[in-house]
Amino acid sequence: MSCQVAVFENIARQLYRLLQGLVWKENDFVACPCFFIILGDESIKRPCGFYSLAKHLNVPIIMNKKLVFNCCSVLNYRLFIFTFLFLFACVALPLAEASAKDLYVKPSAEVALRRGQGTEYKIVSMVRDGTKVELVEENESYTRVRLDSGLEGWMLTRFLTPEPPLSLVVVNLRSDKEKLEENSAEAAERIKELTLALASAREELETLRNERAHLSEEYSNLQKDTANVVQIKNDLERTMAEKEALQDKLTVVEEQYNTIKKDSTMYWFLAGAGVLILGILFGKMPGPSRKRKSSLL
C-alpha cells in the first residue's frame, strides 16, 4: 500500500507543478462539475501532493483508506484536461502496480506465512526455501506476499530475496544450455546452407562479370566502328556517284559497240556481195580462141 501511496503522491506533485504554471484569470473560471479522487491513509502524517492540490483548489481533504469522490464547484476550462489525465492516472497506475515483482525465499528452513505482522498471528502455511512468491506490500520487518496458489500472508522480510535460488538458476542454465545447443546446431546447418548459397552466388557473379566484359568489348568495338560513320557515309555516296557515272559510260560504249558491229556486218555483207557479182561476171565472159594443129602431120 505504501508503494501505491508514494506513486500517487508523485503524480499529484507533478500535476500540481503543471497547475502552478498556468496563468489564472477571473474570467477563465466557468461553472463545471468535476470529481477528484482523494486517496488518504491513516499512516500519512505529512502534507503530500494531494494535500497541496486540494488546498490550492479549496477542496476538503478526506483521510481514510478508501477512494472518495469530492465535487469541485468551479473549474478552469484548461484544468479540465489535467483533471481527466489525473483521473486516468489514478485508475491506471494501481493496475500497473498490481503486477508486482517476484521474490524468492532464501535458503533456510521452512518459513512461516502468517495472517499478520507478528508472531502472535496465526500461521497459514509453511513455505519452503526457493519458493517464488509475489510481492504485495513491503514493510521494514514483514512483507505481504502471495503464493502461486493465491494464498496471501505476511513473511519476515529477511527471508526474502529478489535473487532466484541456485537450484532454479542451475535449472535455468541447463535449459539455456540446451536451447543454445539447439540454436548452435541450427546455426551450423544454416551456415552450411549459406556457404553453398555463397559459392553459387560467387559463380553466378563470375559469369555475370565475364558477360559484362564481353558486352563492354562489343560496345567498345561498336563505338570504334561508328566513330567514322560520317566519313563512311561520304565515301559511300561518292562510290555510288562514281558507279552511276561508270554505268552511264558503259551504256554509251555499248551503244557505240552495237553501232560499230552493225556497220561492220554491213561492210562484210556488201564486200561478199561484190565478190559474188564479180565472180559471176567473170564467169560469163568468153575465153580466148585457140588455133587447131594441122591433121596432115
For 198-214, what is the mean pLDDT? 94
Which of 34-48, 157-171, 279-293 comes out lowest in average pLDDT?
Answer: 34-48
Of all residues in the chain, what percent carry a pLDDT higher than 90?
16
Q: What is the pLDDT of residue 154?
A: 93
Q: Which residue has the higher pLDDT, 97 or 149?
A: 149
Tell me which of 1.10.540.10, 2.30.30.40, 3.30.1310.10, 3.40.50.2300 is the CATH number of domain 102-164: 2.30.30.40
Q: What is the pLDDT of residue 25?
A: 41
Q: In this structure, what is the dihedral angle of CA atoms 269, 270, 276, 281, given to the nearest 10 degrees?
A: 170
Confidence of residue 197 (pLDDT cuts 50, 70, 90): very high
Q: What is the pLDDT of residue 201?
A: 94
Q: Tell me how crowded residue 98 is: count the other CB atoms within 10 A of its CB.
A: 10
pLDDT digits (tens, 9 = 90+) for 110-153: 888 898 988 899 999 998 888 888 999 888 889 999 998 889 99
CA dist 131 → 19, 108, 154, 160, 269 (Å): 47, 11, 15, 10, 145
Per DSSP, the chain holds a count of helices (H) and strands (E) of: 5, 9
Q: Is 133 exposed, middle or buried (0-12, 13-18, 19+ CB in 10 A)?
A: buried
- pTM reported for the whole predicted model: 0.31
Q: What is the pLDDT of residue 146?
A: 92
Cell 556481195 found at: 273
**If you compute the radius of gyration of the chain from its CA atoms, what whole number of angstroms results?**
63
Q: Is 108 helix (H, G, I), strand (E, B) or coil?
A: coil
Measure CA of the first residue to CA of the last residue in the chain; give whole Å.
Answer: 199
Q: What is the pLDDT of residue 85?
A: 58
Q: Which residue has the higher pLDDT, 80 or 130?
A: 130
CA dist 112 → 132, 158, 160, 189, 297 (Å): 14, 12, 12, 52, 204
Top-confidence range, 20-29, 121-130, 132-141, 200-209: 200-209
> Side by side, which strands form the sheet with 152-156?
123-127, 111-114, 152-156, 142-146, 132-138, 102-105, 160-161
Q: What is the pLDDT of residue 32?
A: 35
Is residue 159 within 8 Å of residue 143, measured between CB atoms?
A: no
Q: What is the pLDDT of residue 261?
A: 75
Domain boundaries, the chain: 2-98, 102-164, 167-227, 229-271
pLDDT digits (tens, 9 = 90+) for 231-282: 778 888 889 888 888 888 888 888 888 888 777 777 777 777 777 777 777 7
pLDDT digits (tens, 9 = 90+) for 281-292: 777 776 665 555
Is residue 107 within 8 Å of residue 99, measured between CB atoms?
A: no
